[in-house]
Structure 1
Amino acid sequence: MAERKYTGPVYSLAEELISSISHGVGTLLAVAALVVGVVMAALYSDAWCIVSMAIYGTTLVILYSMSTIYHSLRPNRGKSVLRILDHCSVFLLIAGTYTPLTLVSLRGTVGWVLFGVVWGAAVLGIVLNAVSLTRFKVFSMVCYIAMGWVIVFAFQPLMNTMQTGGMILLIAGGLFYTVGAVLYGVGKKVKYVHSIWHFFVLAGSILHYFCILFYVVPVLQA
């Protein structure tokens, strides 16, 4: 990892407390979500769903734990490393969220193609972020949003397997993440906006989780 000295944004103590506590709560919720998701998949679905929920839940835990640790550290070399891991975990969560959607709800050619595209983009993003956060900053932001909304190309087949309530939760979660991305962009300039962004991420995660738990996990039982 090229960036050894911390050169990232420096937030006030209050902002860091809000950010670390909010995503600390998110970490606890993510652990619970992982356990509940895998158990529900084991009860109501098949091996594909169990593995998909395990991957999805694990990426939730990784993102929120990395964010919590990153915001809990003082500006130093360790914080620089955690900043890289924090950014990389976003790619993991996006791909992780797609996993049950593509391998359980969609499957077939559309599901596998979308699965490959999203995970391929995630691997590329992680590699580039590990090389340099600053050099690939714009690419990463564009990639986050593009990965998040590439699902629109599979809306029709997804609507054939997912009820309207699930689609509403899926779109609403995407909107929270997208608005959050805008807030993230201005968070370095306006105090507390970055901390507010953390709550938008939480909201997006919660909406997507309930979409997947209630409308994807039991899909084979419909």
Structure 2
Amino acid sequence: MSRITMTTSRKTKPTPEPMRRMSRRRTGRGPARRPTTTVAKLRAGHEAGLRAQARRAKARLLAAKPKLRGVLHLVTFPLCIAASVVLIVLARGALMKTAVSVFAATAILLFGNSALLHIGHGRWPMAVERVLRQIDYSNIFLIIAGTNTPFLMAFDPRIRWPYLAVVWAAAIAGTVCHVIWPDGKDVLFTVIYIVLGLAPVVLLPFMWTNPFIGPAGTVLIASGGACYIAGAVCFARRSPNPVPGWFGYHELFHLGTVAGYACHVVAMFLTVCAMR
């Protein structure tokens, strides 16, 4: 006769609902609480309001920007590349070719970056526009040092290298200051720009008698510097605005840079040909 073992199961009592809620709070389990409908609607409305405000601000910015902002530098950019190629080909010797290449690089960077920044102003993402603007301001110092470099190759090494060291040190210092303090006053950077731009004035008498630069090159170099300074003064004063909505003080600043660059390119062409 087999022995049958019978087991009895013990019935557990159901846990009351309040106790379940308490256990969920203690253990951290259970469905995550969703924000109420009212809070979600308020948050969505706030975000939509911010987006609409940003769209209105961008529309105002684009409406206020003169139609020709950046066009001068955009047109100059390919001409700058062509002039740079001609100058590098004409330059004789590794030292002069390197000096002309430095000038070409600073000029191409200046006009190319400026065209990107100003034509796309108000359309670029804020982070991209901030980087382009920092490069744009830094290029002002670099183009001055880059322009000095080929002309100094026509001087005796005892004048050439100390002067180059001072000019490039000032340009690098101005660039670093702007990177560290990107929101500095326009007037401050304009003053640094003008002081650095006036540095070649010391050498003008020596340029006049220099066999490679001569009177014609000296007049062109001085005229180019005057164009740069005139444009910088318009930028600092934020006036005049000849044709509001189309051609303002900023366009006058760009016109000054284009005219100054043109004078210096012609002077450099004469110098490079004389040194061949």
The CA deviation at 1:220 is 2.4
Shift of 1:30: 1.2
Structure 2 unmatched ranges of 5 or more = 1-60
1:3 corresponding residue in structure 2: none
Q: How does 1:1-222 map to 2 (within 5 A)?
A: 12=63, 15=66, 17-41=67-91, 45-75=92-122, 76-102=126-152, 104-135=153-184, 137-161=186-210, 162-187=213-238, 190=241, 191=244, 192-214=248-270, 216-221=271-276
Cα contact 1:110–1:154 (8 A) shared by 2: no
User: Given that residues 187 and 236 in structure 2 are in contact (C-alpha distance below 8 angstroms), is that contact kept between their aligned partners in structure 1?
Assistant: no
TM-score, length-normalised on structure 1? 0.85
- 1:134 Cα deviation after fit: 2.7
Q: Structure 1: which 5+ residue stretches go unaligned?
A: 1-9
Aligned-pair CA distance for 1:72: 2.1
Cα deviation 1:53-82 (Å, max 9, x = unaligned): 111011110000111011122433321221
TM norm structure 2: 0.69
Q: Distance in 2 between matches of 1:136 and 1:31?
A: 32
Contact 2:207 2:214 in 1 (8 A): no
Deviation at 1:12, TM superposition (A): 4.5
Query: In 2, Cα distance between the equivalents of 1:154 and 1:74?
Result: 39
The structure in which a higher percent of residues are helix is 1
- Whether contact under 8 Å (1:52, 1:99) holds in the other structure is yes
Q: Between Structure 1 and Structure 2, how many residues are aligned?
A: 206
Q: Report the CA distance between 1:187 and its aligned residue.
A: 2.8
Change (3 A) 1:199 1:48: same
For residues 206 and 127 of structure 1, the distance between their equivalents in structure 2, rounded to whole angstroms, comes to: 28
Q: What amino acid does structure 2 have at the position aligned with 1:113?
A: P
- Kindly state the Cα deviation for residue 186 of structure 1 after the two structures are TM-superposed: 2.6
SS in 1 for 2:169: helix
Mapped partners of 1:13, 1:28: distance in 2: 28
Deviates more, 1:56-65 or 1:126-135: 126-135
**C-alpha displacement at 1:143, in angstroms?**
1.7
Q: 1:127 to 1:112 in 2, by over 3 A?
A: same
> Using the alignment, how far apart are the partners of 2:129 and 2:264 within structure 1?
29
Deviation string, structure 1 residues 19-45 (Cα, Å, up to 9, x no partner): 22210111111111110110111xxx2
Letter in 2 for 1:105: A
Q: Which amino acid aligns with 1:25?
A: V
1:208 maps to amino acid: H
Structure 2 counterpart SS, 1:82? helix
The alpha-carbon deviation at position 188 of structure 1 amounts to: 7.2
Give the counterpart letter for 2:258 in structure 1. Answer: L
Per the alignment, do residues 180 and 12 of structure 1 end up closer, same or farther by CA in structure 2, a change over 3 Å counting? farther
Do the aligned residues in 1 keep the contact of 2:209 with 2:215 (CA within 8 Å)?
Answer: no
